[in-house]
Chains A and B, each alone.
Chain A
């Protein structure tokens, strides 16, 4: 049967009304109270049973040290493998993973790579590290000029460990090249053993590198973001 024009009009109005209702219901359903679905509170461990000790790793071999050094710095630095001890290990940044520090100097022709703003390591000066004043709450850190490593300059190259294997881990590639910190190593010590560091209230406990630099005894320590040098007490 052939539909008449009025019946088509009625049909279209009916469809329009139905769809309007549908749209209205849809909007209303959205606007109507829709509670954010509650999430079961996860149990929050409130206390550690004991502190996690830094894994005891075997003493480093020279081959391991050189492999890690090359992995991180490529040919940009040359390790200063002279008669004195040129590397030392410890948890220098307090993340419970063993780190490696070496004395090194720029390889010939590599200064530009070392000092590149887009290098794979952070270049910093241990004598210009910002240490927040201990009794100042609101602090505006100073802008520190990025230092440049110079030809022949001895630097402290530090590779941060990653995970239980520490600096030996092939993924351990976070590195710092530190000016005014290369010296004769005298071992490591807990940072809290130093009165000066205790007074700084630094965020983490670390191992410091004790050393003699330009006939001055001192130590290199992690501030929480960079390495700094401080003369020994007494």
Chain B
């Protein structure tokens, strides 16, 4: 190499390096995927996605796994003593094998009305709340369903693994998916995007994406909601219990720790730091799974069970200004197999939460990532085989499911092999 060419090469190399830097800043990368929160109350073996350091993630995993008692604020009415009770399969933060009860009734015009649920024989009620808790810290506080509340729904609790990435999806991305669906389906499919209040942003609205009715948009709001509704622990966004029967603790029961954080902050941080459910890469690489994946797309399943979504770039301010997407969650490609929109596929439960009466029979498209870890399927866990779960879809999904019915047995097996790889 001559001395004359050296600076020229240096210049080219510098250019290449600079473009590489720019490229890295703009290119989305795959979100880290693993079942890496083993059922272990000490948090041993927990590996996060980089949102927090390892020590913090292990500590947050422990917080998520802790069981609370009456002195810590459990109840008076509740369903579980710890987050992990409903989010544990196959790992801490996963899904559940139990369902919960929501009830209500219809008025003369067919509108869903939230119930007033009697609290024991005290003559008091929990007003206007569709969730009914199964447990109480004393007999007098136990809720019982009045006969008049004749709309009843059972819903499984959902996996929260990878939900930090879901939170980091721009609401406008969900709107774009919804807007594309009618054109992709001859007008048959139209996901409904709803906006819900973000508790930590003084009720600012954001696109809902968590819960069967998309009733939450942020993981901190979700943590607060679950803490009060499922465990009966009051917190800074939900400072009052639904009943005070047998209550002995002062509000808010979610006390601030030495680090300045509450439990709900740790729960949200845990969820934000979890990795997404991984594919079974061995099965996914088989020709049956690959063909099944193509069939899944061809017959229209992927219109709602969206295969890939890219999260907002790092630095994007979301949740009404309350959270900034960090590098660990920003510009990440995830494969949730959900559009996080509400649809009527004939399985709806009749319950209205945030989306208005039109959403009574709509449910959020169930994310299919991690599907292979679930033995019971659909929102009510009422189906046990992949085929029956598919056949249960109707309504907006009718044409897609008819396409499925037209597949040969071999093709159905291939499609189910693909599902089993998720």
Residues of chain A having any CB pair with chain B under 8 Å: 5, 8-9, 11-12, 15-16, 19-20, 22-23, 26-27, 30-37, 39, 41-42, 44-52, 93, 95, 116-122, 130, 132, 134-141, 143-144, 146, 160, 162, 171-174, 192, 198-205, 224-226
Residues of B within 8 A of A45 (CB): 356-358
| B350:A203 contact, CB within 8 angstroms | yes
Contact of B313 with A by CB under 8 A: yes
CA distance A11 to B144 in the complex (A): 81
Residues of A within 8 A of B356 (CB): 44-46
Q: A30-B25, A37-B172, A225-B382 are in contact. Are A19 and B15 (CB under 8 A)?
A: yes
CA distance A171 to B398 in the complex (A): 7
| B402:A23 contact, CB within 8 angstroms | no
Minimum CB–CB distance for A197 against chain B, Å: 9
| A135:B99 contact, CB within 8 angstroms | no
Interface string of B139-179 (1 = CB under 8 A from A): 00001110101111110000000000000001110010000
Contacts A15-B15, A44-B355, A118-B409 aside, 18 further interface pairs with beta carbons under 8 A come to A5-B3, A12-B14, A15-B14, A16-B11, A27-B25, A30-B26, A36-B171, A37-B172, A39-B171, A41-B195, A46-B357, A136-B101, A137-B132, A141-B381, A173-B398, A201-B145, A201-B150, A202-B152
Q: A45-B356, A48-B111 are in contact. Are A95 and B395 (CB under 8 A)?
A: yes
| B346:A30 contact, CB within 8 angstroms | no
Contact of B137 with A by CB under 8 A: no
Q: How large is the interface on B (under 10, 10 to 19, 20 to 34, 35 or more residues)?
A: 35 or more
CA distance A103 to B193 in the complex (A): 42
Minimum CB–CB distance for B227 against chain A, Å: 17
22 A-B pairs with C-beta separation under 8 A: A5-B6, A8-B7, A27-B21, A30-B314, A34-B312, A34-B317, A36-B170, A36-B312, A39-B207, A48-B109, A48-B110, A119-B387, A136-B101, A138-B99, A139-B101, A160-B394, A162-B394, A201-B150, A202-B152, A203-B151, A203-B350, A224-B153
| B175:A39 contact, CB within 8 angstroms | yes
CA distance A121 to B394 in the complex (A): 12
CA distance A63 to B111 in the complex (A): 38
Q: A202-B152, A225-B380, A225-B382 are in contact. Are A35 and B7 (CB under 8 A)?
A: no
